[in-house]
Amino acid sequence: MNAVVSLLGKKALGNLKKNKTDTNADNPYKERVPVYNSKGQLTKHKEQERSVPQELSHNDQKILRSVRKRAYRWDMGFRLCCFNFRFGWSAVIGIIPFIGDAIDLMMAYSVVRKASKVDGGLPPFLRAKMIANIIFDFALGFIPILGDVADAFFRANTRNAWLLDAYLTAKATALREGRVQDSDNGSTLPVPEGLRIDDEESGLAHPPPAHAAAPGTGRSRHGDVETGITPAPARKEVAAQGSGQTRGSRRG
């Protein structure tokens, strides 16, 4: 699994460069989408929450949404009046000497800890890159006045949210295809069981059917005793038997 996780991390960084994502300016939580009228004419744009890949497990989807929202609130939750510039609680709290920087550091690290809880964990070098972002951001805070301004522009949480987004997008593609390909040498690796098999603890978004078909019959083995659900073929047989008995009784 480690080889696949590392390969997905490498693909994630490649996708960020390929898509030309501005990791400290693009909003990781919301996106602007066009709105059209009944005639198909563009009327306006609106902001809405970014979607998450449906191939991901419930756990990964939940973590991605949480990290995006935290990064947005911490880096972009407010808009500067009369200017198209966004800032968040990180810039506000960072104004407080020492204490503000310490709180900012702890909040940024909590985002990385949250991201590390994805199924299979994060690639070590990707997590190290996230840690480097928050350390650099923390160091900026020690520069009087200019450090707070630089912190508002650097946005370590937003950068880390985009790193997680790119990684989980690469994982979703691998889950859909059942394999991950190394762009350097063209080799492929199958997605390991720990990333694609669902169970009660991990909870993938697309669990296997509740009733498996019996070999060679095309029918369900049994109904769901707890819920009282009877397989469709069995209901048809019962109905046929019942109608046959009714006809027999009428003839008698």
Domain boundaries, the chain: 2-196, 216-252
No. of helices (H) and no. of strands (E), the chain: 9, 6
pTM for this structure? 0.73
Token pair 């602007």: residue: 32
Distance CA 191, CA 180 (A): 7
Look at residue 196 in the predicted model and tell me its pLDDT.
Answer: 61
Is 103 in a helix, a strand, or coil?
helix
Kind plus residue range of the DSSP H or E element containing 128: helix 124-140
Say what the pLDDT of residue 90 is: 87
Separation of CA 72 from chain center: 15
CA atoms within a 13 Å half-sphere pointing along the CA-CB vector of 109: 9
What is the spatial distance between Cα 242 and Cα 246, in angstroms, rounded to a whole number? 6
Alpha-carbon dihedral of residues 191, 192, 195, 198, nearest 10 degrees?
110
Which residues have C-beta within 8 Å of that of residue 113, sequence separation ≥ 6? none
pLDDT in tens, the chain (252 residues): 788 888 899 889 988 988 888 998 999 999 989 899 888 888 888 889 999 999 999 999 999 999 999 999 999 988 877 777 888 888 888 888 888 889 999 999 999 999 999 999 999 999 999 999 999 999 988 887 788 788 888 999 999 999 999 999 999 999 998 888 777 777 788 887 777 645 444 444 444 444 444 444 444 444 443 344 444 444 444 445 555 554 554 544
Closest by Cα among 87, 112, 127 to 5: 127
- 3-class DSSP assignment, residue 83: coil
